[in-house]
């Protein structure tokens, strides 16, 4: 079957750096997405990776290794507003999105 | 960027009644829209794919007669929860991709509808 694993919850300190990992086993691969979802709100798009390597976008970076079925989202200079759930999603060979359960990130002062 | 509008944001209804949720793409035409459901502390679950001008494609386990989907135009899809029951209480979210930005473009989500059935 298809599966995406991410930690359920992580805690970090304001101003610090945190890395959220995502591993996947899917039927084919056509890209990996990271979304941010604040409580009670819809997800918002953060990043997209289809080739191996690091994609940087401001304070957020996302890394992909297709051979390892692995990605991470790196958040720098954490702010209180970064407290949210972070969803990893993989597009399979049929271009269907497979969603992870999300990682709840708690930022402490 | 692409904007998807969803209405209403929240609704409370009595058991046995029907509720309609609208999803609009505001600045692009969406031949396909996706309807998700999300229970507390769980991930998104795809319910169905709405196809403009044709029947929706439902995921396994989702009742077609209970969750009616209509995609009558390139900018509007509706989800009607018929004969709602308390177990249908959930967060319903629609999404769409701007086809003009290529296959690799991300999904854009509406703000979601919080449905509470009493």
pLDDT tens by residue, A56-69: 999 999 999 999 99
On the question of pLDDT at B100 being above 90, the answer is no
On the question of pLDDT at B101 being above 80, the answer is no
Q: Give the per-residue pLDDT at B103.
A: 66
What's the token pair of residue A14?
């304001």
Nearest-Cα distance to chain B for A102, in Å, is 6
Q: Give the per-residue pLDDT at A14.
A: 97
Q: Give the per-residue pLDDT at A29.
A: 94
How large is the average pLDDT for residues B6-15?
96
**Distance between CA B115 and CA A40 in Å, rounded?**
12
**Distance between CA A29 and CA A94 in Å, rounded?**
9
List, in sequence order, every beta strand (DSSP E) within B1-118.
4-7, 10-13, 19-25, 32-38, 45-51, 57-58, 67-73, 76-81, 90-96, 108-109, 113-117
How large is the average pLDDT for residues B61-88?
94
Of B42, B45, B93, the CB nearest to A42: B93
- Pseudo-torsion of CA A22, A27, A32, A35, nearest 10°? -70
What's the token pair of residue A16?
């610090």
Residues of chain A with pLDDT under 70: none
Per-residue pLDDT reduced to its tens digit, B54-69: 899 999 999 999 999 9
Pairing verdict, β A3-5 and A53-57: unpaired
Beta carbons of A99 and B44 less than 8 Å apart = yes
Beta carbons of B104 and A48 less than 8 Å apart = yes
Q: Give the per-residue pLDDT at B105.
A: 77
Confidence label for B1 from pLDDT (cuts 50, 70 and 90): low
How large is the average pLDDT for residues B17-42?
92
How large is the average pLDDT for residues B10-38?
94
On the question of pLDDT at B2 being above 80, the answer is no
Of A30, A33, A102, the CB nearest to B106: A33
- Best B23, B41, B44 residue to mutate vs chain A (most A CBs within 10 Å): B44
Q: Give the per-residue pLDDT at B98.
A: 84
**Distance between CA B73 and CA A42 in Å, rounded?**
23
On the question of pLDDT at B15 being above 90, the answer is yes
Q: Give the per-residue pLDDT at B31.
A: 87
């Amino acid at each position: 079957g298809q599966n995406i694993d991410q930690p359920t919850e992580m805690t970090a300190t304001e101003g610090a750096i945190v890395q959220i990992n995502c591993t996947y086993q899917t039927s084919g691969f056509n890209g990996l997405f990271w979304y941010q979802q604040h409580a009670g709100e819809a997800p918002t798009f953060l990043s997209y990776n289809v080739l191996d390597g690091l994609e940087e976008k401001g304070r957020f970076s996302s890394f992909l290794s297709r051979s390892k079925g692995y990605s991470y989202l790196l958040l720098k200079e954490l702010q209180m507003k970064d407290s949210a759930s972070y969803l990893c999603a993989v597009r399979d060979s049929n271009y269907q999105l497979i969603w992870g359960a999300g990682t709840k990130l708690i930022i402490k002062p | 960027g692409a904007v998807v509008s969803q209405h209403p944001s929240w609704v409370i209804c009595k058991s046995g009644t029907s509720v309609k949720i609208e999803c609009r793409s505001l600045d692009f035409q969406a031949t396909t829209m996706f309807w998700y459901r999300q229970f507390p502390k769980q991930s998104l679950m795809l319910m169905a794919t709405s196809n403009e001008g044709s029947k929706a494609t439902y995921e396994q386990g989702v009742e077609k007669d209970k969750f009616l989907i209509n995609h009558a135009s390139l900018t509007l899809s509706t989800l009607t929860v018929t004969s709602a029951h308390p177990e249908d209480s959930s967060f319903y979210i629609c999404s769409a991709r701007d086809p003009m930005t290529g296959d690799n473009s991300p999904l854009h989500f509406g703000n979601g509808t919080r449905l509470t059935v009493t």
